[in-house]
Amino acid sequence: MFWRFGFNSNSSAITTLLEKKDVKLEEVLADPDIIHELKSNNTKLITYLSKRESLLDLVSLFFSLEGDRHKLPLIACEILASEIPQITDAIVIDHRDVLQAFWNFLNVPYSPEPTYAFQSSYFLKIITVFITKRTNDMLCFVKSSPYHLDKILSHLQDASIMELLLSLVRLEELPEAKGIVQWLYEHELLINLVHRLDPHLDSEEHQIAQQCLSEIVKISQTSLVDSPSIRVNPLITQLTSKDMIETMMRYMLDRQAPGYTSTIMHCVSLLIDMIRHNNSDLDQQTPQNEPDFFVSLSDLLQVITAHIEPLNQILLDRDRKTVGLDRLKICELYAELLHCSNMSSLQSEHIGDDFKSACHQHQVISIMIVKQAKLTDRIVDTQEENDRVCAEPKGTRLGHMGYLTCIADEIIRLFEGYPESVLGAIKDTIDLDRWYAYCDHQLKETKARDSIPLGQHAQTPHDEKLEDDVVIYDASWPNIQPFEPVSVKKDLDPFSVTEDETIYKKEEITAIPTSNA
């Protein structure tokens, strides 16, 4: 192809083809240089592809996409996602019926088949181009009908469609897209997602809802100073409201429902994300002069405080022989509450006696878990039991020791963060000397061992003997020589070479003779 070196004629083959009367789109797409000509701003080609009839044909080809079996649908998708301004404007501005025809992909029922996933990935890619290039026009289109959101929500099982929804939320960061979160709030996005946590639904619905809600929390992360976020917004405010938290707690405590365990796990994961992303760490200072810097967690704390007793009953259920992931999740929630660390900031906001009472109750809960449950003593006892089991022949580590290490870390953070209020209340009840000895020895050794990268081979005396005794090659064999080290990135990476170079070179594989020392 001489055009690549600047020797092309004034008229390319595709330009000549377009000069014919009644040329068909299939003929144009069959040209092997069509994408290059498009990227080179071939005026005739762009004009032809920007026609309404051509765009409708391209959309029709998108709907016939079946993996990589057919070439023309793939080329059609690449053209739609090519970021050519004329084509984008023709679809988004000039011919809204073409955009609506493409958007009607969301009318296709969700399917777990690979073909659907392949189509949805291209749908996301193309729609993202449209939104990026024509943000205002695309948002006007999306908000033109409430059914557009309903269609997106009906396809959340697919990762690409979920990413499309989250992309709409992230647009709130852009000045020209302000108001999209308010629109999503008014059309009850949060209510739809929270209701998917109902324990009478299957676990897939729970996972979808929790993943989507957790991502919205992260997008709204208001306690991380240097991270991009949309700050306090109607979605995160509604999610942390008393009604939403009470709904989640009601779902979590419906122990007769078939999906009860799954609901607990996903609801608690969501609650933990809400605390972590809207609450500053112990060593992080948050600006106090910005009223929208973090979300108030007063309602969340009040509701959890009111339901501590039924949550404890789940933990104390003696009819269950195993701990279970649901009870471990509740313990993780308690650990997160123990270092819910901007209590002092929240208490100074003068937001009413009820919330101050909840803050005080939070301190009481923290002390109760450590003091009355003798949590530190039980951790040390379990560590000693684990050491005894491991010391026996063929002894193995107890299965829950990893969780115990995490809980111990949380208790250390609690003690360091509130040395007066917490330690002062429990110092006469628990054996602090025994706890500190555990932290200085067993816990430190466990964390040091767990930090060692996996896969490293410790050299043994047997290995050293092999190095001394085994002869890898003999100098009397003239054609057998050690190979040069292979660079994986250089020799095996197909993207590290140019188009005209081969990946493997014969002379690089042949042994290079070296002089015998």
pLDDT in tens, 31-65: 889 999 999 999 999 999 999 999 999 999 999 88
Lowest mean pLDDT of 106-120, 296-310, 428-442, 499-513, name the range: 499-513
Average pLDDT, the chain: 80
**Strand, coil or helix: what is 127?**
helix
Angle between helices 308-315 and 325-338 (to 10 degrees): 130
Q: Taking phi first (over 0 means left), then psi (-120 to 50 degrees means alpha), and beta for anything else, what does residue 350 get?
A: left
- Calculate the CA 51 to chain-centre distance: 39
Element (H, E) at 509: helix 506-509
| Residue range 175-197, pLDDT digits in tens | 888 999 999 999 999 999 999 99
CA nearest neighbour of 161 among 216, 208, 222, 227: 208
Spatial separation of the C-alpha atoms in residues 53 and 91, rounded to whole Å: 11
Cα–Cα dist 277/269, whole Å: 12
pLDDT at 108 over 80: yes
The pLDDT assigned to 230 comes to 79
Q: How far apart are the first and last CA of the chain?
A: 53
Give the distance from CA 417 to its chain's centroid.
Answer: 30
Q: Could you please report the per-residue DSSP string of 360-385? A: HHHHHHHHHHHHTTTHHHHHHHHHHH
Pairwise CA distance, residues 508 & 501, whole Å: 14
Residues 393-410 have pLDDT tens digits of: 988 888 888 888 998 998
Can you state the angle between helices 135-142 and 114-133, rounded to 10 degrees?
120
275: region left, alpha or beta (phi > 0 left; psi from -120 to 50 alpha): alpha
The residues near 483 (Cβ < 8 Å, ≥ 6 apart) are 511, 512
Half-sphere exposure of 16 (CA within 13 A, CB side): 7
Q: What 3-state DSSP class applies to 267?
A: helix
- Residues 305-322 pLDDT 10s: 999 999 999 999 888 888
Model pLDDT, residue 410: 86
pLDDT at 223: 55
Ordered structural domains, the chain, with CATH = 11-282+292-344 (1.25.10), 379-450 (no CATH), 471-517 (no CATH)
Task: Tell me the pTM.
Answer: 0.70
pLDDT at site 9:
46
Q: Give the angle 128-134-138 at the CA atoms, nearest 5°.
A: 70
- Alpha helices (H) in 394-443, listed in sequence order: 401-417, 423-426, 432-438
Nearest of 9, 74, 81 to residue 38 by alpha carbon: 81
In terms of pLDDT, which residue wins out, 428 or 517? 428
Q: Evaluate whether 218 touches 269 at the Cβ level (below 8 Å).
A: no
Confidence of residue 361 (pLDDT cuts 50, 70, 90): low
Name residues whose C-beta falls within 8 Å of residue 42's C-beta, 6 or more positions apart in sequence.
12, 14, 15
Q: Which two tokens stand for residue 23?
A: 């040329």
- Whether pLDDT at 288 is above 60: no
Find the mean pLDDT for residues 206-212.
97
Residue pair 257/203 in contact (Cβ under 8 Å)? The answer is: no
pLDDT value, residue 321: 80
User: Among residues 119, 107, 92, which one has the least CA distance to residue 147?
Assistant: 107
Gap between the Cα atoms of 472 and 494, Å rounded: 31
With b meaning 16 or more CB within 10 Å and e meaning fewer, what string describes 394-425?
eeeeeeeeeebbebbebbebbbebbeeebbeb
- Hey, how many other C-beta atoms are within 10 angstroms of the C-beta on 38? 19
Report yes or no: 368 and 308 within 8 Å, Cβ to Cβ: no
**Residue 340 — very low, low, confident or very high, per pLDDT cuts 50/70/90?**
low
Query: How long is the chain?
Result: 517
